[in-house]
Amino acid sequence: MANQETKVVDNIIASRRSLLVGGGAALAALALAKPASAAASVTSYTDNDILNFALNLEYLEANFYYLAAFGTTIDKANAASMAAGGPSAGIPITGTGTAGTVTVKANPKVPFKTVTVGSYATETAIEEGKHVLFLQSVLGSYGVAQPAIDLENSFNTLANAAGIAPTFDPFAADADFLIGAYIFEDVGVSAYHGAAPLISTTSSGKTILAAAVGIHAVEAYHAGLVRNSILALDPTGSLGLLGYTQKISATRSTLALQAPQSPANPLDPTPDDYGVSDGVFTVSLAGGANVPRTNVVDATTDYVLGFARSTTEVLNIVTGGGATTAGTPAKGVFFPSGLNGLFV
Amino acid sequence: MNLSDLYQKGVSRRNFLVGAGAIGAASVLEGCSNDGTITTAPTSGVTDNDILNFALNLEYLEAEFFLHAATGSGLASADVSGTGTAGSVTGGSQVAGLTAQQQDYVNEIAYTEQQHVRFLRSALGSAAIARPAIDIVNSFNALASAAGIGASFNPYANWDSFLVGSFVFEDVGVTAYSGAAPLISAAGIAAGLLNYAAGIQAVEAYHAGSVRTFITARAIAGGSSYPYLGYANQVSTLRATLGGGNETPLTLPTSTSTPSSIVAANSSNAVGYARTTDQVLHIVYGTAGGAGVKSGAFFPAGLNGTISVTGS
């Protein structure tokens, strides 16, 4: 066990070093003009348009995890992905709209040191890949192509904006990977949540809704997994990981809430995102007043309901505040050429 | 223990044992495809308030379990009144021997479920059901016996036992909300009910993912001498028998390249499971399939509200 623990500590130190290169920066790196919003201008859409919005996000997540776990993009089947339960052929990335490629550093496979984090990455990669395939199967020929995705410069930009470091490599080590995953999962949960009430109430709409809430649940399982793992790796916050989650959450909230939902959504308060912590919040339980609690769940502090985000809010996060002009597609950060589909 | 308690204990155990006898059928159910849609006919003719009250019953149960685990006592009296037959709570105690952070985590879940009770009660107003009778001691013993874990199981004994106790509930809560979401009316969706239901579902899934991560990480660290992952999977098998499949057992990863099994979802498309209200009732009543089941296990006097008796 000592050997294993030594590896973990080495891993954390290496990770901390890479995260702490340089000092803080400002949100100035990102466009923060009060937006009129692009997606909010969409007034006529179908359930398939909503699913296509989700498919863009699943392309992003699936590629991140495939690269971390297997070192390849999702369209390249390999022995490791197949051994872990992935499809025997590459996942299709073609479809409607403008197809793009993935920008990432050379040899992105994370040199995982811990069985826990490595196995979590492997599981999540397979599941996100299946989400891509599932949405494609539902959408058929209406499905969007994979847009251009940036998994290199994007993390630098976000880390800079969050005041974490000028550069950040989520593929460097176990802890870095968890922080990278942290950036995505809560956003996925809030995106599916926000989209659910947009789905039609027809019979076919109900079928789509059932699937959407099922994927929503899986994203929240992933988010709980990632947040729990970060707390386990840095229980006191002394390694800085809890602080990073809090800065990332604050940045996501700032980006998202440039475009609050209209009409106002009670699940869309300010802030709409909380990092991982222990003892920051105290609560009153029926059997005890003002007891400290962890914050593993990302939810409202009053009734503990998950946050819902509009498509525009989600666009603002994944493009770094790109959804600032009505009618003009959002692009930037993770989607340098924008998303494909109607909600852009 | 009074006569009524003894009677209920007997009923609960018998119900769970009926479930255990049907384990052969579980393997068939596990083979069924579940593409995220509801495969059994959904409950028809129910109102949005009926659905919220069904959820409130489950939140009462979770709140009582987690609040007791955190503090040794349950919901405040102001949070349990309502329509239907009010009942008391049997069992429950503070989890022993926790580290400060483990205690803080239990506090977080307890707070979550307490607030979900308060939220649903607020949303329902005068239509809110009262807390029914809840058993969080004999139920676990009966469950442990039916699952083959042992003659008894105390989820308050220590951290690991608490994790297994938590495991009993969280995945079920997620599937219950997945199943209920498509039942909400168009008017209810316009009024925000789907939004709220999804908000609660997300939190249940965060907790479920977190609990499964705790157990998996403890099992990786503890190796073959750690029995609790096996206990959790025995619970999962029992739930599959009672609740129409819809289960993904935990695994013990042995390398960084073998997948863990944190997420409970259909393995073919990674879409989370949905359970019908009947399937959820069979689980919380600890009684295998069939119509007319109206009480047992965690709810010795049944649920309050319209959705309380199995229709299949």
**DSSP class per residue in B84-131:** S----EE---PPSS--HHHHHHHHHHHHHHHHHHHHHHHHHGGGPBPP
Residue B7 is predicted with a pLDDT of 30
Tokens 């009129």 label which residue?
A: A36
Rounded Cα gap, residues A292 and A207, in angstroms? 41
Q: Residue A243 carries which side chain, given as an amino acid letter?
A: G
**Hey, are the CB atoms on A220 and B203 less than 8 Å from each other?**
yes
Which chain B residues have a beta carbon less than 8 Å from that of A285? 67, 70-71, 107, 110-111, 114
A7 close to B (CB below 8 A): no
Q: Is the pLDDT of residue B80 over 90?
A: yes
Rounded to the nearest 5 degrees, what angle is found at the Cα of A133, between the Cα atoms of A131 and A134? 60
Burial per residue of A66-93, b for 16 or more beta-carbon CB atoms within 10 angstroms, e otherwise: bbbbbbbbbbebeebbeebbbeeebbeb
Give kind and range of the element (H or E) at residue B14: helix B3-21
Answer whether residue B83 shows pLDDT above 70. yes
Q: Closest residue of A to B216, CA-based?
A: A116
Q: Which pLDDT does position B282 carry in this prediction?
A: 98
Return the minimum-mean-pLDDT range out of A41-50, B35-44, B227-236, B303-312: B35-44
Instruction: Determine which helix (DSSP H) or strand (DSSP E) holds B134, and give its type and residue range.
Output: strand B134-135
pLDDT above 90 for B110: yes
Q: Which two tokens stand for residue A84?
A: 């872990």
d(CA B159, CA B155): 8
Q: Out of B75, B213, B268, whose CB is closest to A224?
A: B213
For residue A212, give every residue at least 6 positions away whose Cβ sits within 8 Å of its Cβ, in sequence order, or none: A50, A51, A54, A192, A195, A196, A199
Q: Report yes or no: A178 and A241 within 8 Å, Cβ to Cβ.
A: yes
Average pLDDT over residues B33-62: 74
Q: Which residue of B37, B62, B213 to mutate against A (max A Cβ within 10 Å)?
A: B213
Q: Closest to A211 (Cβ–Cβ): which among B37, B262, B268?
A: B37
Residue A323's pLDDT is what? 76
| pLDDT at residue A263, as a whole number | 56
Q: Say if residues B299 and B57 touch (Cβ distance below 8 Å).
A: yes
* Beta pairing partners, B248: none
Q: Is A301 in the B-facing interface, judged by CB distances under 8 Å?
A: no
pLDDT value, residue B35: 38
Output the six-digit token pair for B272: 């989370």
Sign, Cα dihedral of B20, B24, B27, B30: negative
- Residue A40's pLDDT is 58
Residue carrying the six token digits 């296509």: A52
**pLDDT in the model for residue B194:** 95
pLDDT of residue B224: 78
Residue range B260-278: average pLDDT? Answer: 97
What is the structure's pLDDT at A39? Answer: 58
Q: Does A315 touch chain B (CB under 8 A)?
A: no
C-beta atoms of B258 and A116 within 8 A: no
User: How open is the CA angle A318-A324-A328, to the nearest 5 degrees?
Assistant: 95
Beta strands in chain A (DSSP E): 102-103, 149-150, 277-285, 288-295
In B, which residues are within 8 Å of A134 by CB distance? 269-271
Name B232's Cβ contacts closer than 8 Å, sequence gap at least 6.
B163, B164, B167, B212, B215, B250
Average pLDDT, chain B: 88
Distance from the A302 Cα atom to the nearest Cα atom in chain B, whole angstroms: 7
**Does B20 have pLDDT greater than 80?**
no
| Mean pLDDT confidence for B98-116 | 98
Flag whether residue A211 sits within 8 Å of chain B, measured between CB atoms.
yes
User: Is the minimum CB–CB distance between A133 and chain B shorter than 8 Å?
Assistant: yes
Q: What are phi and psi of A306, to 5 degrees?
A: -60, 150
For residue A103, the tally of other CB atoms under 10 A from its CB is 14
> A75 in contact with B at a CB cutoff of 8 Å?
no
Asked if A278 and B101 count as a contact pair (C-beta separation under 8 A), the reply is yes
Q: Say yes or no for a CB contact (<8 Å) between A115 and B261.
A: no
The confidence score (pLDDT) of residue A258 equals 77
Helix (H) or strand (E) run with residue B135 in it: strand B134-135
Q: Which residues contact B43 (CB under 8 A, 6 or more apart)?
A: B183, B276, B277, B278, B307, B311
Chain B residue numbers touching A222 (CB-CB < 8 A): 209, 262-263
pTM of the model: 0.89
Determine whether the interchain pair B199/A83 forms a contact, defined as Cβ–Cβ distance below 8 Å. Answer: no
SS3 A283: strand
pLDDT score of A271 = 86
DSSP B13: H
pLDDT of res. A265 = 65
Establish if B198 touches chain A: CB-CB under 8 angstroms. yes
Q: How many CB atoms lie within 10 A of CB A266?
A: 15
Query: Which residue, among B40, B255, B271, would best test binding to A if mutated, counting the most A CBs under 10 Å from its CB?
Result: B271
The encoded tokens of residue A289 equal: 């007043």
Q: Is B3 helix (H, G, I), strand (E, B) or coil?
A: helix
Residues of A in contact with B209 (CB under 8 A): 220-225, 228
Q: Taking CB atoms and an 8 Å limit, are A217 and B79 in contact across chains?
A: no
Instruction: Name residues 9-28 of chain A within 8 A of B (Cβ).
Output: none
Range B121-126 contact pairs with CB under 8 angstroms and sequence separation of 24 or more: B121/B56, B121/B79, B121/B82, B123/B52, B123/B193, B123/B196, B124/B49, B124/B52, B124/B53, B124/B56, B124/B82, B126/B83
User: Are B199 and A305 inside 8 Å of each other by CB?
Assistant: yes
Best B256, B261, B273 residue to mutate vs chain A (most A CBs within 10 Å): B256
Q: A213 vs B195: CB contact, 8 Å cut-off? A: no
Task: Out of A169-183, B30-44, B144-158, B229-243, pick the least confident.
Answer: B30-44
**For chain A, what's the residue count?**
344
Residues 6+ apart with CB under 8 A from A165: A18, A19, A20, A21, A22, A23, A159
**What is the distance in angstroms between the Cα of A104 and the nearest Cα belonging to chain B?**
21
Q: Which residue of A has its CA nearest to B258?
A: A119
Q: Is A128 on the interface with B (CB under 8 A)?
A: yes
Low-confidence residues of chain A, pLDDT below 50?
1-36
Mean pLDDT of B260-284: 97
Residue B159 has pLDDT above 60, yes or no: yes
What integer pLDDT is reported at residue A267 of this predicted model?
67
The answer to whether B108 contacts chain A (CB < 8 Å) is: yes
Residue B82: what are its φ and ψ, rounded to 5°?
155, -165
**Which residues of B fall within a CB distance of 8 Å from A137?**
269
Enumerate the residues of chain A whose CB falls inside 8 A of the CB of residue B216.
Answer: 116
